[in-house]
């Protein structure tokens, strides 16, 4: 290995321009963070429609370098937990939270061609400001590093610290504050990215596919065509499950030159929220998955947990519980361990099939795009309904101040947001939502991200139209919000109503079309010319 | 003394080695330390499997066009599981028979008395008088590469042209002879035994209907298109399993219920059981050559094993799993073998927990009801459309027939009959709409058989249709049984589409394809649940 390349920090040929832009945005957001309406307005301006940086060399290289690190991101207790409608304070740690990091670099004749950094976090979502703070830390540690190539996703565990501002009435004392966690997180992740970057060495990669029954479409449909998340299925009115499921488990394996498996990326179309109601820190099913894989392969194995498009999915059983529970009891497994068993079986099954098909000389192309997607508009009826609901909620809180813990999110974030958006629409008739996506080609496969809780149908369409041999769709590489399909909007209920969606089906289809376009562009001839 | 010890060691160690290795050879071995053999049960279990592949060319059933078999890729079989609880005349006796056929003709479509179901039952009852015909449940795996068993006495009766094949009616006799012999054998072979049941998962069936942005559905086709919106409905990847054991705690067989018809290589001109053949091979490779395997298809009218998205990735995996195979991807042996591995994985991953939960005295109850379901009513406009179709295809058929009569040499060409038999089938299909319209005037309800079988805490419920999966989910969601095995195609078939599928209008949901619509489909849900509740309460 030529150590000269370690010392150049693997810089892509970037100027200070991108980072200055990021820094300005970071400052702007910090200033505006308590002004939700203005904050959202700023983000509707499609100023990011052109990628901040593009790598001009679009060819594949001779050598793939891989570096990994894993870092504990468990917060200081007590801490408020993100993900339910009510406030929860965790006072114990069920399992540690981790961030798993893998950096990829492709080189040709010792010249850097492309970089990618994957950061998978045991969090509910990745707020933009959090990512900017991480980028800032990375910039400090690795000046000039192309931070636009950092892909950070959340596994959507509902038992991790609150990272969304103004959603819960978090006590101001004796509980870890959001700002403090951001700072803690950014520093830890920044150092871990540097560690991974510094440790990168020539490696090999391959990919494969298996299946596991993990996610269940959680929207039940009834005879009157209405739908309900987690609706009852054992009633005569039940007519079916609203949408599709994606039981594919896409795996990406990385080895070092000594043949040791050092990282695995696993995409499962199911959020990690089996124990979502607990009052403890917990990485949900990814914890036993990691334990099991590390026991089998390598105690320091980096496990990138990716959640496929799964806005309408969860690991909760929708029917047939008696049979499932009986089997789980016969196996003497907790539900988390049962889910992990299925995923690990799929990954190991894939590993056994593909382990000899290792590649070092592959295309690594990382493109980003800032999309402007039309926001879902609030109707006057929805606005009035929210006004009415808010009055009711305020009355409840006034009558019983303790109810604030339970109702604040619904009041401020859920219904309150409808009011703010409706008012905003008066000034801005066609508001847009800025969504950054990453599309990364690694050999014959592609990884494409989106910031949403994207309903599975969209991912199916992306996969069906993609030119890649395998298409890993990674959701929640950003701040979230459900992105429902048209049929879900027709069915209604939580996750497909105005309160739950910043972007609706129109934006969803645009996301599909533009993602597919970007993916397929990477299979154009110009990208396939080998560097001489 | 020392020498004596050495001598004993010399004698004992090889013996231990032999014992250890004999255990390894026998993949499923009774666990003598944890499970005590129990002969006190009252359940008797008998198995048999029989090859039902004719030794002459036959018509292959399952497509619009006729196919004359051009050899045998793998045998089609029937598997019989005979269960008896108690002794003597008062005992409950049940036969479950699974056939590698496209359907089990039952007279629903043509009122024929000598249909396959009746013929099999009659022959079995003749051989085993103590077994009533209504205790015999026969299902098809829906392989599209099996002999056409029909009451038609010639190919011409079905397809409008003479073809040199064993007639469909002869196939009924041939197949029913074989099955009745196997049933007799299973009955004679029955011994005291036990059952255990479990649940696994395998991604086998895929919803095969794709919807575009105008909300129109099509069956199959290309999902790699800009106007592809979504897959129409749900999938069910549960694998319901029933294991049987002898009185020495040795596994004797496994009943496997998946929500997917067996039709990967459905276009072949060779006889084949499709993926169930490969599944039997895979399971026997793992568990022993003598294991019986009885396949059932759960509600899966809108499902198939065909890959709807991501074929390239599946093909790559198949190529690496089975490097000797030439063909991989959808509709290939590669997919069949991949499915076999998935099902076998489900069977073997559940198996270790079954060995310690054998029930030798399960409640065994059976009930058969003839249920009357609302037919999907045909309107005058459907008749007009059907007639129009019939006229168009009749014209085509007559034209092709004339050409063949004028130029007999055309018959020398391979598969010369394809176009003309398509025309004839579509002509018949169009004409049948009018027949149904007339029938509905006098008989608005269609009688069907529904079997309900309780074995311990599980239940099996049958229907004769290609019953869309949503109905199955409705039944499973409301069933009080620990596991609910739905068994479709215990009769002639016919799609039963859901409302959302009819709105999409794909093949499978159009009037000509369906005798029963959403109204009758829901009636069957409610009736099935009523029967399940009744049998589970007893």
Q: Which of residues 433-472 of A touch B (CB under 8 A)?
A: 457, 460-461, 463-465, 468-471
User: Which residues 284-343 of chain B have a CB within 8 Å of chain A?
Assistant: 308-310, 312-314, 316-317, 320-321, 342
- Min Cα–Cα distance to chain B from A241, Å: 7
CB atoms within 10 A of CB B69: 24
> What part of B 464-503 touches A (C-beta under 8 Å)?
470, 473-474, 476-478, 481-484, 498-500
How many CB atoms neighbour CB B322 within 10 A?
18
Residues on chain B touching A469 (C-beta within 8 angstroms): 312-313, 316
* Number of C-beta neighbours around residue B107 at 10 A: 16
Find residues 303-322 of chain A whose CB sits inside 8 Å of chain B. Answer: 318-320, 322
Nearest CA in chain B to A338: B200
B338 → chain A, closest CA residue: A210
Q: Which residues in A lie closer than 8 A to residue B307 (C-beta atoms)? A: none
Residue that the structure tokens 């939502």 belong to? A433
Burial class (CB in 10 A: 0-12, 13-18, 19+), B380: exposed
Q: Count of CB atoms within 10 A of residue A444's CB?
A: 18
**Domains of chain B: which residue ranges?**
194-362, 378-443
Q: Which residue of B has its CA nearest to A208?
A: B317
d(CA B307, CA A92): 46
Helix (H, G, I), strand (E, B) or coil at B374: strand
* Residue whose C-alpha is closest to residue A130's, from A436, A479, A504: A479
CB pairs A-B closer than 8 Å: 134
Q: Sort out which chain A residues have CB atoms less than 8 A from B308's CB and list them.
A: 464
Give the pair of three-digit tokens for residue B155.
Answer: 């190919």
At A293 the pLDDT is 98
Q: Report yes or no: A507 and A373 within 8 Å, Cβ to Cβ.
A: yes
Q: Is A72 exposed, middle or buried (0-12, 13-18, 19+ CB in 10 A)?
A: exposed
Q: How far does CA B376 lie from the centroid of its chain?
A: 24
- Tell me the ipTM for this assembly: 0.91
Mean pLDDT by 10 residues, chain B (538 residues): 45 40 36 42 96 97 95 98 93 98 92 94 97 97 98 96 97 98 98 98 98 96 94 98 97 98 98 98 98 98 97 98 97 98 98 96 98 93 93 97 96 96 95 90 94 98 98 98 98 95 91 90 98 95
Asked if A200 has any chain B CB less than 8 Å from its own CB, the reply is no
| Neighbour-count burial of A514, counting CB atoms closer than 10 A to its CB (0-12 exposed, 13-18 middle, 19+ buried) | middle
Two tokens, residue B389: 């179709």
Nearest by CB: A323 against B309, B310, B482: B482
Name the β-bridge partners of B364.
B455
**β-bridge mates for residue B255, sequence order:** B242, B294
Distance separating alpha carbons of residues A449 and A152, to the nearest angstrom? 9
- Strand B495-496 versus strand B466-467 pairing type: parallel
Interface of B with A in 144-203 (CB under 8 A): 198-203
- Residue ranges per structural domain of chain A: 4-377+431-527, 380-427
The DSSP H or E segment spanning A448 is strand A445-449
Secondary structure (3-state) at B280: helix
How would you write the pLDDT of chain A (532 residues) with one tens digit per residue? 333 333 334 343 333 344 444 445 555 545 544 444 444 434 433 333 333 333 344 455 579 999 999 999 999 999 999 999 999 999 999 999 999 999 999 998 888 999 999 999 999 999 999 999 999 999 999 999 999 999 999 999 999 999 999 999 999 999 999 999 999 999 999 999 999 999 999 999 999 999 999 999 999 999 999 999 999 999 999 999 999 999 999 999 999 999 999 999 999 999 999 999 999 999 999 999 999 999 999 999 999 999 999 999 999 999 999 999 999 999 999 999 999 999 999 999 999 999 999 999 999 999 999 999 999 999 999 999 999 999 999 999 999 999 999 999 999 999 999 999 999 999 999 999 999 999 999 999 999 999 999 999 999 999 999 999 999 999 999 999 999 999 999 999 999 999 999 999 999 999 999 999 999 999 986 666 554 4
Inter-chain touch B357–A463, beta carbons under 8 Å: no
Q: Is residue A312 within 8 Å of A484, Cβ to Cβ?
A: yes
Closest Cβ–Cβ partner in A241, A320, A469 for B234 = A241
């Amino acid at each position: 290995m030529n150590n000269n390349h370690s010392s150049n920090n693997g810089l892509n040929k970037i100027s200070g321009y991108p980072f200055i832009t990021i820094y300005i945005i970071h400052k702007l957001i910090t200033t505006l963070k308590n002004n939700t309406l203005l904050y959202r307005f700023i983000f509707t301006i499609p100023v990011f429609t052109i990628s901040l940086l593009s790598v001009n060399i679009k060819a594949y290289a001779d050598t793939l370098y891989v570096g990994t690190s894993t870092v504990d991101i468990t917060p200081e207790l007590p801490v408020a937990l993100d993900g339910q409608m009510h406030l929860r304070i965790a006072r114990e740690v069920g399992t540690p939270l981790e961030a798993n990091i893998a950096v990829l670099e492709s080189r040709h004749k010792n010249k850097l061609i492309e970089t990618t950094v994957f950061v998978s976090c045991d969090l509910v979502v990745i707020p933009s400001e959090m990512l900017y703070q991480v980028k800032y830390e990375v910039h400090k540690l690795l000046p000039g590093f192309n931070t636009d190539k950092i892909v950070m996703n959340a596994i959507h565990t509902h038992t991790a610290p609150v990272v969304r501002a103004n959603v819960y009435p978090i006590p101001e004392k004796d509980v870890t504050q959001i700002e403090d966690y951001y700072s803690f997180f950014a520093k830890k992740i920044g150092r871990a990215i540097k560690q991974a970057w510094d440790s990168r060495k020539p490696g090999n990669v391959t990919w494969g596919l298996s299946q596991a029954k993990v996610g269940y479409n959680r929207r039940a449909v009834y005879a009157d065509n209405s739908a309900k998340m987690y609706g009852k299925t054992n009633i005569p009115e039940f007519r079916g499950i609203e949408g599709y499921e994606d039981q594919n488990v896409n795996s990406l394996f990385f080895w070092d030159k000594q043949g040791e498996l050092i990282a695995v990326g696993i995409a499962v179309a199911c959020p990690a929220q089996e124990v979502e109601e607990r009052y403890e820190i917990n990485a949900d099913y990814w914890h036993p998955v990691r334990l099991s894989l590390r026991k089998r392969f390598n105690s320091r194995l980096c496990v990138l947990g990716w959640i496929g498009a799964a806005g309408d999915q969860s690991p909760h059983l929708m029917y047939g519980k008696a049979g499932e529970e009986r089997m789980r009891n016969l196996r003497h497994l907790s539900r988390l361990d049962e889910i992990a068993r299925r995923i690990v079986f799929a990954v190991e099954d894939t590993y056994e099939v593909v382990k000899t098909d290792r590649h070092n000389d592959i295309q690594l192309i990382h493109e980003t795009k800032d999309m402007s997607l039309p926001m879902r508009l609030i109707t006057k009826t929805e606005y009035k309904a929210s006004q009415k609901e808010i009055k009711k909620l305020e009355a409840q809180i006034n009558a019983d101040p303790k109810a604030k813990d339970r109702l604040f999110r619904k009041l401020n974030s859920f219904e309150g947001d409808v009011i703010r958006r409706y008012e905003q629409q008066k000034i801005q008739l066609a508001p847009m939502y800025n969504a950054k996506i990453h599309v990364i080609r690694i050999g014959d496969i592609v990884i494409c991200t989106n910031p949403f809780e994207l309903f599975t149908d969209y991912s199916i369409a992306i996969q069906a139209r993609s030119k890649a041999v395998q298409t890993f769709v990674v959701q929640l590489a950003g701040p979230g919000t459900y992105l429902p399909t048209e049929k879900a909007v027709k069915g209604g209920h939580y996750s497909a109503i105005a309160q739950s969606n910043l972007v609706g089906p129109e934006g969803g289809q645009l996301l599909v079309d533009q993602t597919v376009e970007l993916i397929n562009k990477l299979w154009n001839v110009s990208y396939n010319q080998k560097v001489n | 003394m020392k020498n004596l010890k050495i001598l004993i060691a010399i004698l004992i160690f090889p013996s231990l080695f032999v014992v250890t290795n004999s255990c390894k050879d026998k993949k499923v071995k009774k666990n003598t330390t944890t499970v005590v053999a129990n002969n006190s049960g009252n359940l008797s279990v008998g198995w048999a499997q029989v090859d039902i592949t004719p030794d002459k060319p036959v018509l292959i059933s399952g497509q619009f066009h006729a196919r004359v078999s051009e050899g045998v890729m793998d045998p089609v079989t029937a598997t019989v599981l005979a269960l008896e609880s108690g002794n003597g005349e008062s005992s409950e006796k049940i036969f479950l028979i699974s056939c590698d056929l496209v359907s089990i003709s039952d007279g629903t479509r043509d009122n024929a008395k000598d249909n396959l179901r009746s013929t099999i039952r009659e022959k079995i009852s003749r051989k085993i008088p103590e077994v009533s015909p209504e205790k015999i449940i026969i299902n098809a795996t829906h392989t599209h590469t099996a002999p056409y068993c029909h009451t038609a006495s010639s190919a011409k009766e079905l397809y409008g042209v003479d073809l040199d094949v064993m007639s469909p009616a002869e196939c009924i006799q041939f197949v029913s002879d074989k099955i009745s012999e196997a049933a007799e054998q299973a009955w004679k072979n029955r011994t005291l035994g036990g059952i255990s049941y479990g649940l696994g998962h395998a991604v086998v069936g895929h919803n095969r209907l794709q919807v575009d942005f105008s909300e129109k559905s099509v069956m199959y086709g290309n999902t790699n298109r800009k106007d592809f919106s979504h897959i129409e409905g749900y999938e069910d990847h549960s694998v319901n399993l029933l294991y049987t054991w002898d009185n020495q705690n040795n596994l004797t067989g496994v009943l496997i219920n998946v929500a997917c018809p067996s039709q990967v290589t459905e276009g072949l001109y060779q006889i084949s059981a499709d993926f169930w053949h490969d599944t039997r091979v895979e399971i026997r490779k793992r568990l022993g050559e003598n294991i019986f395997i009885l396949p059932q298809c759960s509600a899966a009218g809108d499902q198939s094993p065909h890959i709807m998205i991501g074929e390239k990735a599946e093909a790559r995996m198949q190529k690496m799993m089975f490097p000797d195979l030439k063909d991989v991807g959808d509709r290939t042996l590669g997919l069949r073998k991949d499915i076999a591995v998935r099902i076998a994985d489900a069977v073997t991953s559940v198996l270790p927990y079954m060995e310690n939960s054998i029930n030798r005295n399960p409640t065994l109850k059976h009930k058969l009801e003839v249920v009357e379901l609302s037919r999907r009513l045909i309107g005058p406009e459907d008749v007009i459309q059907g007639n129009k179709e019939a006229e168009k295809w009749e014209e085509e058929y007559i034209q092709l027939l004339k050409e063949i009569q004028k130029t007999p040499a055309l018959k020398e060409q391979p598969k010369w009959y394809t176009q003309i038999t398509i025309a004839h089938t579509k002509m018949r299909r169009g004409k049948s709409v009018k027949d149904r319209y007339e029938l509905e005037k006098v008989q608005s309800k269609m009688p069907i058989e529904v079997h309900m079988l309780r074995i311990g805490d599980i239940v099996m419920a049958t229907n004769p249709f290609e019953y869309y999966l949503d109905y199955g989910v409705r039944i499973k969601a409301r069933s009080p049984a620990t596991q609910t095995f739905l068994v479709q195609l215990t009769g002639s078939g016919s799609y039963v589409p859901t409302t959302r599928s009819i709105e999409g209008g794909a093949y499978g949901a159009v009037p000509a394809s369906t005798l029963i619509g959403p109204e009758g489909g829901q009636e069957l849900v409610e009736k099935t649940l009523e029967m399940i509740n009744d049998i589970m309460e007893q």
